[in-house]
């Protein structure tokens, strides 16, 4: 097996991380475009004819390089946009920093490392490309890929493939390779509560009329049970995983998340809680700040809530269930509104993916340890969109992230060993797919 060049991969990653491609920030639109242009140039450097395209949203990079006549086509997927910068970084998030065995920077793991792995795999193969390769590196995955379907429709001939390799999930541990076989869906909503046209004196009206913030707190509390698990009728869990052995333990979860001492997990069934059951997270609240609180009944309050959905539950089904639940939990008669901010359906492997065994073997060889299959609690909207557009395509979801990567948070990082192993494994995957298809 060819050996990846770590310094070359870090040079690619350093250039990519330096570009502040935060797709959620409209003021960074120029940076997102610059990021797409850099990605396109890097792929041209490894022999892929690329172009930067858009369907009204953030720009994506598409391209194609033909392999031997009759060879299958493998679509290499990644995203070049990143999350906003959270507080608490120890280093400059847009300057790749090497510290021990890890490289730190926004996008260093999610998912500019995926781009670097694709590039290095193609370099390792050189002129001996065993398959045709299509490339799709999107610029809006972190905002749920709203125009992805239109991009695929407009460029279906370039992107059509038999297999898609997407290194955009999470490994089982540091340098512990995995293939993801299920992804949860997502529904993000803004819940608004209105009780009056204006604020009124809490001493005169308190105890008679409810305040909007109190109603909102009650509604938010009703979304989960005492253990913190989702409690919305109409959003059922999928069957528990048949093999939960690859999931983290409760202690590993709390350690990886930096949880405070004594914080409990929802249950001991970590795999089911993360992979096949719904979850509820309150992302933010609009309400009077504590240092400006006054003695009034707050007339309006809002919260943004994120629901992670079992693979079988659509965002539309979840929205209907949420609306019905909020109505049932509003005996005070407050005005309650629900605004959908984003939604995406989950995905589950049918268990009949021929490429899966080839990839498991390639990963095991590159990492020097057995690869496993697992579910992931997050989502990749691209997978559902692609399988709808190209029936029969085989998604293979691998990872450069691990539970210590802190993706979306401060001090995001990637293991240096994983960087090279991911590229070496991908090159071997392409060889094996080309040999049997």
Mean pLDDT confidence for 236-248: 91
Please state, in angstroms and rounded to a whole number, the distance separating the CA atoms of residues 41 and 21.
16
β-pair partners for 343: 187
H helices within 339-400, ranges in order? 354-367, 381-389
pLDDT on residue 349: 85
DSSP 12: H
Q: Is the pLDDT reported for residue 25 higher than 80?
A: yes
Find the mean pLDDT for residues 179-196: 96
| pLDDT, tens digit, 9 for 90 and up, residues 39-52 | 999 999 999 999 99
CA–CA gap between residue 336 and residue 340 (Å, rounded): 13
pLDDT tens digits, 211-220: 999 999 999 9
Q: Report pLDDT for 399.
A: 96
CB 172 within 8 A of CB 374: yes
pLDDT of residue 144: 83
- 232 touches 280 (CB < 8 A): yes
Confidence of residue 436 (pLDDT cuts 50, 70, 90): confident
| pTM, two decimal places | 0.86
Residue range 196-209: average pLDDT?
Answer: 95
Phi/psi zone of residue 366: left (φ > 0), alpha (ψ -120 to 50 degrees), beta? alpha
Average pLDDT (267-274) is 95
Model confidence pLDDT, tens digit, residues 70-126? 999 999 999 999 999 989 999 999 999 999 999 999 999 999 999 999 999 999 999
Q: Is the pLDDT of residue 161 over 70?
A: yes
User: Is 369 in contact with 173 (CB distance < 8 Å)?
Assistant: no
Domains of the chain: 6-183+346-436 (3.40.630.10), 185-238+277-343 (3.30.70.360)
Q: What is the mean pLDDT of residues 278-304?
A: 96
pLDDT above 70: percentage of residues in the chain? 99
Confirm if 273 and 266 have CB atoms less than 8 A apart. Answer: yes
What confidence tens digit (pLDDT) does each residue in 298-357 have?
999 999 999 999 999 999 999 999 999 999 999 999 999 999 998 888 999 866 567 777
Mean pLDDT taken over the chain: 95
pLDDT at residue 437 above 70?
no
Confidence at residue 86, expressed as pLDDT on a 0 to 100 scale: 85
Q: What is residue 350's predicted lDDT score, i.e. its pLDDT? A: 65
- 149, 382 in Cβ contact below 8 A? no
The fraction of the chain above a pLDDT of 90, given in percent, is 88
Residue 54 scores a pLDDT above 80: yes
pLDDT digits (tens, 9 = 90+) for 359-410: 899 999 999 999 999 999 988 878 888 988 999 899 999 999 998 999 999 9
Q: DSSP states of 82-143 as a string?
A: BPPPPS--SS-TTS-EEETTEEESTTTTTTHHHHHHHHHHHHHHTT---SEEEEEEES-GGG
């Amino acid at each position: 097996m060819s050996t990846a060049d770590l310094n070359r991969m870090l040079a690619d990653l350093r250039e990519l991380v330096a570009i502040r491609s935060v797709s959620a920030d409209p003021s960074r639109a120029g940076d997102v475009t610059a990021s797409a242009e850099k990605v396109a140039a890097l792929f041209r450097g490894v022999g892929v004819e690329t172009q930067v395209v858009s369907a009204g949203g953030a720009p994506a990079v598409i391209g194609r390089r033909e392999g031997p006549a009759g060879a299958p086509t493998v679509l290499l997927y990644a995203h070049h946009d990143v999350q906003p910068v959270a507080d608490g970084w120890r280093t400059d998030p847009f300057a790749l920093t090497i510290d021990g065995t890890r490289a730190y920077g926004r996008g260093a793991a999610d998912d500019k490392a995926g781009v670097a792995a694709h590039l290095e795999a193609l370099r390792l193969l050189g002129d001996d490309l065993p398959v045709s390769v299509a490339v799709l590196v999107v610029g809006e995955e972190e905002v749920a890929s709203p125009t992805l379907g239109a991009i695929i429709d407009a460029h279906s001939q370039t992107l059509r493939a038999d297999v898609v390799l997407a290194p955009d999930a999470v490994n089982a541990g540091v340098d512990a390779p995995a293939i993801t076989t299920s992804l949860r869906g997502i529904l993000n909503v803004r819940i608004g509560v209105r009780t009056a046209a204006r604020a009124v004196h809490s001493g005169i009206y308190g105890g008679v009329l409810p305040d909007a913030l109190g109603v909102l707190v009650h509604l938010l509390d009703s979304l989960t049970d005492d253990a913190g698990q989702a409690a919305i009728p109409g959003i059922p869990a999928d069957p528990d995983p048949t093999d939960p052995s690859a999931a983290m333990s409760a202690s590993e979860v709390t350690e990886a998340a930096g949880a405070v001492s004594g914080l409990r997990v929802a249950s001991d069934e970590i795999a089911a809680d993360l992979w096949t059951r719904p979850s509820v997270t309150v992302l933010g609240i609009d309400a009077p700040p504590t240092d400006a609180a006054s003695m009034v009944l707050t007339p309006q309050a809002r919260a943004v809530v994120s629901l992670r959905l079992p693979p079988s539950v659509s965002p539309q089904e979840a929205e209907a269930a949420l609306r019905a639940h909020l109505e049932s939990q509003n005996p005070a008669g407050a005005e309650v509104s629900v605004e959908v901010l984003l939604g995406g359906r989950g995905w589950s492997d049918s268990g009949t993916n021929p490429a899966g065994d080839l990839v498991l073997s390639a990963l095991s060889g590159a990492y020097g340890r057995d690869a496993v299959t697992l579910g992931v609690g997050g989502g990749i909207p691209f997978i559902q969109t692609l399988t709808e557009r190209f029936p029969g395509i085989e998604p293979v979801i691998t990872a450069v992230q691990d539970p210590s990567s802190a993706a979306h948070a401060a001090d995001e990082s990637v293991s240096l060993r994983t960087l090279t192993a991911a590229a070496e494994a991908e090159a071997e995957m392409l060889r094996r797919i080309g040999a049997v298809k």
